[in-house]
Amino acid sequence: MRIVIFGAHGLTGRTLTGQALAAGHEVTAITRRPAEFPVEHARLRVVGADVYDGNAVDAATAGAEAVLSTLGVPFTRKPVSVYSEGIRNITAAMARHGVSRIVAVSSSATYPHHHADGGFLMNRVLQPIVVATIGRSTYADMRIMEEHLRGSGLRWTIVRPSGLFDTPEVSRYRLHENEAPGIFTSRADLAASLLEQLADDRYLRKAVAVTTVEGTPTLWQMMRNEAVKQPGGPRPDRSRTPR
C-alpha cells in the first residue's frame, strides 16, 4: 500500500516508518527536516513539509492510498494548534486527491477517564494535574482534531495511546474501543496498532485505545525517560533499518 506518514521523524514515526517498510509498503515520510531523516530505503520517499503549509501537504498526499499521523508537540502552556491545523490541511488534501483512509494518533487523556489499572496515583493525582496544567492546550487541540475527523466523511480511525515508552519489539498489545484500562503504550506497539488499522476495519470511524501490558516501566521511569527524550527522537542505527 502507498502510505503517507505525517510526523515520520518523531520517535513513534520512525518506528512506524521502519515497520511499514518491513511490511512491504511504499512510504512517504513527511518531516520539516528531510535532510536529517535517518532512514534510507528503495520504497521510501522523504518529503519536507510543514503541516501548516496546505500546498506542501497537498503535494505530499497526492497518489497515496492511506495516511497515518503521529504528529505531535511536547507539552506546553502556550496554545497548541498543530493537531487541528495539521488535520485540516491533511484531510483537505485527502479529499482533493481521493484518499479516504486515515489513522491518526490522539491520546487516552484527550477525554480523561478512569484507568482500571491506573491506581490512585494515576487516576487521582497525575492525570488530573497534567490535564489541568501542562497538557491542557495539547488535549484541547487534540479534541478539535478528533471532532474534525468525525465530521470529515473520510474513513478515519483515532488511535489513543497512554503514557509512551520505548521497546525494541512489538508486544501483545491490547485494543479497546474509546478507553484504555492500562496507562502505558510502547511506541513499537503504537506503530503496529496504526498499521493494523489499515488491514482491519473493526475500528473504522471509531476511537481505539492501545495498551501495552508486557515490559512496562514504572510511572516514575516513564516520566523520567520522557522528560529527557531528544526533540525529534534519538538518532537510530542506520544499519538496523530494513532494506
Ligand X SMILES: NC(=O)c1ccc[n+]([C@@H]2O[C@H](COP(=O)([O-])OP(=O)(O)OC[C@H]3O[C@@H](n4cnc5c(N)ncnc54)[C@H](OP(=O)(O)O)[C@@H]3O)[C@@H](O)[C@H]2O)c1
Site membership for ligand X, residue 47 (CB under 6 A) = no
Q: Is residue 11 involved in binding ligand X (CB under 6 A)?
A: yes
For ligand X (CB under 6 A), the number of binding residues is 26
Q: Which residues of 206-240 are buried (b: 16+ CB within 10 A; e: fewer)?
A: ebbbbbbeeebbebeebeeebeeeeebbeeeeeee
Question: Closest residue (Cβ) to ligand X?
Answer: 10
Per-residue HEC secondary structure of 161-174 comes to ECEEECCCCCCCCE
Binding mask 48-87 for ligand X (x = CB under 6 A): --xxx-----------------xxxx--------x-----
CA distances from 59 to 63, 90, 151, 155 (A): 9, 10, 23, 20
Q: Interface with ligand X includes 31 (CB under 6 A)? A: yes
Q: 161 vs 217, which CB is nearer to ligand X?
A: 161
Could you say which DSSP state residue 107 is in? -
Site string for ligand X, 97-136 (x = CB under 6 A): --------x-x-----------------------------
Distance of alpha carbon 14 from alpha carbon 90, whole angstroms? 19
- Interface residues with ligand X (CB under 6 A) are 7, 9-13, 31-33, 50-52, 70-73, 82, 105, 107, 161, 163-164, 187, 226, 232-233
